């Protein structure tokens, strides 16, 4: 009853939050708690699409009309939607702490001195989270998109800005951003998800504290004696001193 009177059904906005840069020698990613690394959209998207792609290879012999497809890989999923940045004044300002209380909210609006919504500043804030090159990450940062039950770890792959309305001086008042993100998952989580633990496949591991080449080789092949071949493949002249944070490639084991 009280929820019906005081508007307990608060609108949940889509949140896009950046991850901290990965610390060398670790595979764990942690969401940033810095305020500037989180962006709440002004208007929730009307819809979003998630695309799944499976790629095949075909060996077409001369004179044949068709051939059996052979799986090449399964591409990461991609998520696409449109974000609207609106400075016309038609869209209400971001929710405040008293917005769910009708009378108090109305009084608060009378005394509000909030800065006017600036479309270009908002695009800059959004771009800082999802698009701006980050030296520590060597590219745009990993982000997590949260909306309702959808939680999507990803990186931005495209952003197209469509300028729709303008002030008399040419300042943009409404911009539609068509954005696409591609799912991002660490190598270890990906391999665990795919179940690819066969020694007949190429593996790559990042050295962490306590790792030794024989131990890592035993985890991959089930036998530690292959470490000499692994050292040769990676051109490790002093394999007893592995550099923390470096990547080691483990080639496929030869079938008997």
The answer to whether the beta carbons of residues 67 and 60 sit under 8 Å apart is yes
Its pTM stands at 0.60
**What is the pLDDT at residue 253?**
66
Region 2-185: CATH code: 2.40.30.200
Task: Identify the CATH assignment for 199-250 out of 3.40.630.30, 3.40.50.2300, 3.10.350.10, 3.40.50.300.
Answer: 3.10.350.10
The phi and psi torsions of 58 (rounded to 5 degrees) equal -130, 135
CA 163/CA 36 separation, integer angstroms: 24
Tens-level pLDDT at each residue, the chain (256 residues): 334 334 445 678 999 999 987 665 555 678 888 999 999 999 999 999 989 888 887 766 666 666 777 777 777 889 999 999 999 988 875 554 444 444 444 444 544 455 788 999 999 999 999 998 877 767 888 999 998 878 888 999 999 999 999 999 999 999 999 999 998 765 444 454 445 445 556 677 888 877 888 888 877 777 777 888 888 888 887 777 788 888 888 887 654 4
The domain segmentation of the chain, as residue ranges, is: 2-185, 199-250
Map residue 218 onto helix, strand or coil.
Answer: helix
**What is the pLDDT at residue 148?**
81
* Residue 1 burial by Cβ neighbours in a 10 Å radius (0-12, 13-18, 19+): exposed
Q: Would 2-185 and 199-250 be classified into the same CATH topology?
A: no
Handedness of CA 78, 11, 32, 16 (dihedral sign): positive
């Amino acid at each position: 009853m009280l929820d019906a009177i005081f508007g307990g059904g608060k609108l949940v906005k889509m949140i896009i939050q950046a991850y901290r840069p990965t610390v060398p020698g670790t595979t764990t990613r942690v969401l940033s708690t810095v305020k500037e690394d989180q962006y709440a959209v002004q208007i929730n998207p009307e819809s979003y699409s998630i695309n799944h792609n499976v790629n095949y290879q075909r060996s077409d012999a001369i004179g044949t009309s068709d051939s059996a497809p052979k799986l090449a890989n399964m591409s990461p999923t991609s998520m696409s939607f449109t974000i609207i940045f609106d400075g016309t004044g038609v869209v209400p300002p971001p929710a405040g702490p008293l917005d769910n209380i009708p009378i108090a909210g109305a009084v608060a609006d009378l005394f509000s001195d909030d800065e006017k919504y600036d479309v270009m500043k908002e695009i800059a804030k959004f771009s800082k989270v999802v698009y701006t090159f980050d030296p520590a990450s060597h590219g745009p940062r990993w982000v997590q998109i949260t909306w309702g039950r959808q939680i999507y770890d990803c990186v931005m792959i495209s952003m197209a800005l469509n300028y729709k309305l303008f002030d008399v001086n040419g300042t943009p008042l409404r911009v539609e951003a068509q954005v696409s993100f591609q799912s991002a998952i660490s190598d270890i989580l990906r391999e665990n998800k795919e179940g690819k633990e066969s020694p007949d496949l190429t593996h790559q591991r990042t050295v962490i504290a306590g790792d030794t080449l024989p131990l890592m080789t035993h985890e991959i092949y089930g036998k530690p004696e292959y470490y000499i071949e692994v050292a040769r493949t990676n051109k490790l002249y002093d394999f007893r001193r592995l550099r923390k944070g470096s990547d080691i490639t483990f080639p496929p084991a030869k079938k008997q």
